[in-house]
Amino acid sequence: MATVKQATIKNTRQLALANKASGTVITLGEILMVTAGLAVPATLSTVRADLLGVCNQTIAAADALTQVQYIVPSDEDTYIFSTTNDTVATDNGQAMVLGANSTTVNNTHTTSATGIVQQVEPYGATGDRLIIGRFLTL
């Protein structure tokens, strides 16, 4: 599985803790959302109000931990995201929802009113399916 990585580590980076169910598996680099007061991997239906940030650690179910550390999104920070489709510069500025999992952005080549990630620019070759983007926060 791909992971979301910060493109450039900056002084704006903030870490926070969120509660999670003890059996919830969390993977480093996943985008997290909050549901029923607990952190879980984000889904394609994640909206901005539920977005927590990027998981900063891997937690197995057997670890039975009830908190997870994550990177709080900042307007100043950019990340490298995997995408569902080939990347193109004409998508720059478009708002995008997540794809089928918590580490992939669905770049449909049309901006989404419910998007949580904004493409800044493609990263690598078109077929690499990677972008530099930022989280759209409230």
pLDDT confidence of residue 137: 77
Cα 40 to chain centroid distance, Å, stands at 12
Question: What pLDDT sits at residue 75?
Answer: 78
Residue holding tokens 């794809």? 99
In angstroms, the first-to-last Cα distance of the chain is 28
Give the chain's residues under pLDDT 70.
Answer: 1-3, 6-12, 138
Q: What pLDDT is stored for residue 4 in this prediction?
A: 73
What Cα–Cα distance (Å) separates residue 132 from each residue in 43, 65, 79, 110?
20, 32, 5, 17
Are the beta carbons of 54 and 28 closer than 8 angstroms?
Answer: no
- Predicted structure pTM score: 0.88
Q: 10-72, what's its fold? A: Virus Head Decoration Protein; Chain: A, (2.40.300)
Q: What is the mean pLDDT of the chain?
A: 90
C-alpha 44/C-alpha 102 separation (Å) is 8
Among candidate residues 71, 47, 54, the one with its CA nearest the CA of residue 138: 47
Q: What are the residue ranges spanned by the domains of the chain?
A: 10-72, 79-135
Gyration radius of the chain over CA positions: 14
What does the DSSP 8-state code read for residue 92?
T
* pLDDT at residue 118 in the model: 96
d(CA 55, CA 52): 9
How much is the pLDDT for 34? 96
Q: For residue 9, what pLDDT is reported?
A: 62
